[in-house]
Amino acid sequence: MHFTAYQPSVTKTKELCRTINSVSDTILVLDFVEEALRKLSIELVLKKQIDDDSFVNKMVLDKKVYSSGTAKIALTDVEGGIYRLYANIQTPEHTHETKPNQRHGTGFFEFRIINSLAEESEKNLLEKNKWIFYLLFLGAIIYFMSKWYRNKSPNS
């Protein structure tokens, strides 16, 4: 399964993965690469971490066969934190087409959402504009190197 997240209002069509840097409305998309998964009944459960060891259900999508090979979950009122998206695969009994290890299984994908806007607002002026200092530092290096080269040159 391939996981992708989108935040249309923030990053437009950019594909996000393990770290999502905003608490805006988010769309999670699962693509089933393996063809066999399109014939299986899959339950999707989104859980959010509440402390080190436990996760609580945030959203549950009932068991369904995704014949087009793709499933999506739209999240609104998003909070920062660590999430897990579980895919529970179940097949009916006596299915000769599925292999034993496909008949029942659960996997999850963990990702986190960061409230980067809040973090950004807590930064001071220096931290917000640190790129200026990198640029000045680079300029200083270029200046001193060119000065050293000029002094070294026999014609100077």
Partner 1 sequence: MYLKNMLDMKKVMWLKGSEQMIKVNVFKKSVLIFMLLIISTVVYAHGERNQEPFLRMKTLHWYDAKWSVKNEATIQVNDEVVLEGKVHFFSRWPQVINKPDVIFLANATPGPVFIREESYLNEVPMIQSTGVELGNVYDYKVKLKARIPGRHHVHPMINVESAGGLVGPGIWITVEGNADDFVYSVETRTGQTIDNLGTYATGNVYKWHAIWGAIALFWILWWIRRPLLIERYLMVKDGQWSKLITLTDMKLGASLIVFIIGLLIYANMITKEAHKYTIPLQGGKAEIDKIPNPNEGLVYVKNKKAEYYLPGRTVTINADITNNHDLPIQLGEFTSANLRFINHHVPAAVKAVDNGYPEELVADSSLVIDDQNPIMPGETRRINIDATDAAWEVERLSSLLNDPDSSYGALLFFYDTNGKRIVSEVYGQILPTFVD
Q: Which residues bind partner 1 (CB under 8 A)?
A: 2, 4, 6, 8, 12-13, 27, 29, 31-33, 35, 67-70, 72, 74
CB of 100 to partner 1, least distance (A): 20
Residue 34's alpha-carbon distances to 74, 91, 131, in angstroms, are 23, 15, 44
Nearest CB to partner 1, comparing residues 49 and 78: 78
Nearest CB to partner 1, comparing residues 32 and 55: 32
CB of 53 to partner 1, least distance (A): 32
* C-alpha span between 40 and 52 (Å, rounded): 33
Nearest CB to partner 1, comparing residues 49 and 72: 72
Nearest CB to partner 1, comparing residues 2 and 147: 2
CB of 110 to partner 1, least distance (A): 20
Cα torsion through 146, 152, 153, 156, rounded to 10: 90
Nearest CB to partner 1, comparing residues 70 and 106: 70
Residues 6+ away with beta carbon under 8 Å from 79: 23, 48, 113, 115
CB-based burial, 25-41: b 16+ in 10 Å, e otherwise: ebebebebeeeebeebe
CB of 123 to partner 1, least distance (A): 30
CB of 41 to partner 1, least distance (A): 16
